[in-house]
């Protein structure tokens, strides 16, 4: 069984751009890769801009995408982000905000 997650970037207008991650969403994998490989707003936004993610490569954190994945969801509030994550079956939500990653277990 996969550990699903949602990865999001909070914009200056306080909205969230979010994508679904299907495999290996636990902090020891995804959390570590996000912190090591996506350290700037531009890097985090580039990750999100590509749309839904099947998995992150264990060495470089590169995203393997679904051929038919959805584009990022734009969500107006933190509560709507959590609803999006729950609807995706996510166990973890990662948010890049103000230059740093944080996560929450659902």
- Tens of pLDDT along the chain (106 residues)? 589 999 999 999 999 999 999 999 999 999 999 999 999 999 999 999 999 999 999 888 899 999 898 999 999 999 999 999 999 999 999 999 999 999 999 9
Give the structural domain span for 73.
5-105
User: How many domains does the chain divide into?
Assistant: 1
pLDDT of residue 1: 59
Q: What SS3 class is residue 11?
A: coil
Label the pairing between strands 53-56 and 5-10.
unpaired
pLDDT score for 69 = 86
């Amino acid at each position: 069984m996969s550990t699903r997650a949602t990865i999001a970037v909070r914009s200056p207008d306080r909205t969230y751009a979010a994508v679904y991650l299907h495999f290996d969403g636990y902090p020891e994998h995804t959390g570590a890769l996000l912190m090591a490989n996506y350290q700037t707003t531009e890097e985090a936004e580039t990750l999100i801009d590509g749309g839904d993610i099947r998995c992150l490569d264990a060495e470089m954190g590169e995203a393997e995408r679904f051929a038919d994945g959805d584009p990022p969801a734009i969500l107006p509030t933190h509560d709507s982000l959590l609803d999006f994550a729950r609807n995706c079956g996510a166990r973890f939500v990662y948010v890049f905000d103000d230059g740093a990653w944080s996560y929450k277990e659902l």
